[in-house]
Chain A
Amino acid sequence: KQEVTQIPAALSVPEGENLVLNCSFTDSAIYNLQWFRQDPGKGLTSLLLIQSSQREQTSGRLNASLDKSSGRSTLYIAASQPGDSATYLCAVSSSYGKLTFGQGTILTVHP
């Protein structure tokens, strides 16, 4: 059974700092990995999708890497802003696109 773990569970940083969120998964037989952002009372917003054949994806200040063989992914956020405060979720896709989620990292960026 696939298990996804995210570290740290919570992170508080001052504005402007670069930071890294970690995700690990136990079964490397995945099709893709997605990073999501969840704001309180709202649904999930897809940030980045990395296919299993890819090593990284970039969008603006976000960069996600994938090491499928070791079962690890990182989300790098550059020059963090208070608006980045949210819960960040990592999810891996198995057959039919079913996602298995980690517990999330709660990020707080203070001015």
Chain B
Amino acid sequence: GAGVSQSPSNKVTEKGKDVELRCDPISGHTALYWYRQRLGQGLEFLIYFQGNSAPDKSGLPSDRFSAERTGGSVSTLTIQRTQQEDSAVYLCAFGGGGDYNEQFFGPGTRLTVL
């Protein structure tokens, strides 16, 4: 992606554990999106942050999922009490935030829940 970094690149955890996934932004982009890609499926929208506005959480699959964005920059996606179906690649993306703006993706975090 265009300078977007995510960490860790890979995470293996046991069922029931909590995990935190991190996304570091590139400057000049105000909107941040989280998506996930489960094996054999398309990318699914999870959550959207735009400046100081309330985030759009409509894509979060359950209340075990939460995300925050500190100071309009770094974002953390937290999954509590992980389940095997949470195994996926989690991708963050940045954009200008408007309806017409292009998005740039990070390399993703591959999460495996055993």
Residues of A within 8 A of B (CB): 4, 31-32, 34, 36, 41-46, 49, 51-52, 89, 91, 93, 95-104
Contact = CB atoms under 8 A, between A and B. Distances in A.
A44 B99 contact: no
Interface string B74-114: 00000000000000000101011111111111111000000
14 contacts: A31-B100, A36-B105, A43-B6, A43-B105, A43-B107, A43-B108, A44-B1, A44-B105, A45-B105, A46-B104, A93-B99, A96-B31, A99-B35, A99-B45
Contacts of A4: 42
Contacts of B107: 41-43
Nearest to B49: A96
Contacts, number: 76
B56 A96 contact: yes
Interface of B: 1, 4, 6, 31, 33, 35, 41-45, 48, 50, 56, 59, 91, 93, 95-108
